[in-house]
Amino acid sequence: MGVYSIGVDLGGTNLRIAAVDSEGKLLDKLTTGAEVKRGRDFVITEMCNAIQSLVAKHRDSGQLAGIGIGVPGFIDMDTGTVMRSPNLPDWVNFPARQQIEQKLGTTVILENDANSAAMGEKWLGAGRNMDDMVIYTLGTGVGGGLILNGRVWRGMKGMAGELGHICVEPEGHPCGCGSRGCLEQYASATAIVRMAQEAIDSGNAPDLTEAARGNVEFSARGIYQLALQSHQSARRIYQRVGRALAIGIGGMVNALNLPMYVIGGGVSSAWEMFAPAMFEELKVRSSIYSLTAPDPANPEQKHTVVTIALMGSDAGLYGAARLPMLETQPARSSAPV
Ligand SMILES: [Zn+2]
């Protein structure tokens, strides 16, 4: 019998739970609405019930390595406390890990959702052969994760990797984190819609104004469609996304000289609209990048690769399942769930 683990991806709208074996094969998957409005106790109870039902179903499938749970927000890894979460409003200074462990009667690994996504891409996606990589997830916000020596780099308290809150415009748009000009304010889906609205308000984007009046969906995806149709104002917004990413990534290349930077999340599907501006700007912002950019004439050389994620919305789910498999220390308790 092989080893398998349970991965949980708790988002603001969906709760997804999977049983995954040590080769990365999906054994089972459950998706339910994360009814965040009904409060954290309700969400935790739903999650634990679903975990228990999957474990019961797979009792004969192999040995359970553990349970990994990806949660959006700042987590104090020492205590398993969710300090603050943008998508789970009542999870403030909430000892989530302790509550979950009490309900399940066993230990779990609680991890930031972007760190889980980084691990998923490292295990089965774009970073498959990489020991060191960085991931950016461009969604409602911008998440980040670092993998160093094959492991999530958590920092002192488990809060490392907040790459969406690295400043790319010193006097830029205010950010929910309290700072201003964060990457999240220029490269998230929310930012794309805001920048489109700003362009309309400035009176310099007649094509976007027309679109906003018409039936085009006024979303990051809708603006991407306009960019595809050669609407210049929509294209300029995605070029700005690319330049902002280049400033953020360029700083990381300069600091860490890692071989791979992966861009995932919903906005990454607009890759061809922001990538040309991003690569152009990267060469300016990081001389290390320009010295190590992929060179078709020298494919054997070590290169800095900036690439699109491959796992889609499953990265966090698989990454969460991978975490217990990497634990070297014995679990604090091994009672069955
Ligand atoms: Zn911020």
- pLDDT given at position 95: 97
Contact 292, 302 (CB under 8 A): yes
Q: Nearest-CA neighbor of 153 among 138, 137, 132? A: 132
Tell me, in angstroms, the distance from the centre of ligand 1 to residue 115's CA: 17
Tell me, in angstroms, the distance from the centre of ligand 1 to residue 80's CA: 23
Tell me, in angstroms, the distance from the centre of ligand 1 to residue 53's CA: 38
- pLDDT given at position 298: 87
Tell me, in angstroms, the distance from the centre of ligand 1 to residue 198's CA: 19
Summarised one tens digit per residue, pLDDT across range 240-279 is: 999 999 999 999 999 999 999 999 999 999 999 999 999 9
Tell me, in angstroms, the distance from the centre of ligand 1 to residue 325's CA: 32
Tell me, in angstroms, the distance from the centre of ligand 1 to residue 54's CA: 37
Tell me, in angstroms, the distance from the centre of ligand 1 to residue 42's CA: 29
Tell me, in angstroms, the distance from the centre of ligand 1 to residue 184's CA: 6
- Average pLDDT of the residues in 202-219: 80
Tell me, in angstroms, the distance from the centre of ligand 1 to residue 182's CA: 5
Tell me, in angstroms, the distance from the centre of ligand 1 to residue 161's CA: 13
Tell me, in angstroms, the distance from the centre of ligand 1 to residue 180's CA: 6
Summarised one tens digit per residue, pLDDT across range 12-22 is: 778 999 999 99
Tell me, in angstroms, the distance from the centre of ligand 1 to residue 160's CA: 14
Summarised one tens digit per residue, pLDDT across range 280-319 is: 999 999 999 999 999 989 888 899 999 999 999 899 999 9
